[in-house]
Amino acid sequence: SAVISQKPSRDICQRGTSLTIQCQVDSQVTMMFWYRQQPGQSLTLIATANQGSEATYESGFVIDKFPISRPNLTFSTLTVSNMSPEDSSIYLCSGRTPGYDTGELFFGEGSRLTVL
């Protein structure tokens, strides 16, 4: 199975600040995704991180608020910008192995952000 490392695991942030979450995957992973999971709710896809180009954002998410980088195949960052209490959530990095239509998703440990 693929290994995905994510940091920080948790942080408490002040309103108006920005935080960058880092995600490192092993070489088995070809596609990378960023999800948000608010307490008691399902996973919401923020964007697909594309290597060397702009991420593909889902409806309701924009690059100015959630800039994403993926400079190489195995590393990606998600920045939560100008945070507000509504951004308090768990942010999950995930990767899919080859076999695009059947490859399972592997998840990082998640980054639990609390915005005061």
Binding site for other proteins (CB under 8 A): 41-45, 92, 100-102, 104-110
Closest contact distance (angstroms) between CB of 2 and other proteins is 10
78 close to 93: Cβ distance less than 8 angstroms: yes
CA distance 12 to 1: 31
Tell me whether residue 13 or residue 43 sits nearer to other proteins (CB atom). Answer: 43
CA distance 2 to 29: 7
Closest contact distance (angstroms) between CB of 52 and other proteins is 21
Tell me whether residue 13 or residue 45 sits nearer to other proteins (CB atom). Answer: 45
Closest contact distance (angstroms) between CB of 93 and other proteins is 9
Token pair 């979450």 in the structure block, residue: 21
Token pair 């008691």 in the structure block, residue: 40
Tell me whether residue 68 or residue 108 sits nearer to other proteins (CB atom). Answer: 108
Beta bridge partners of 100: none
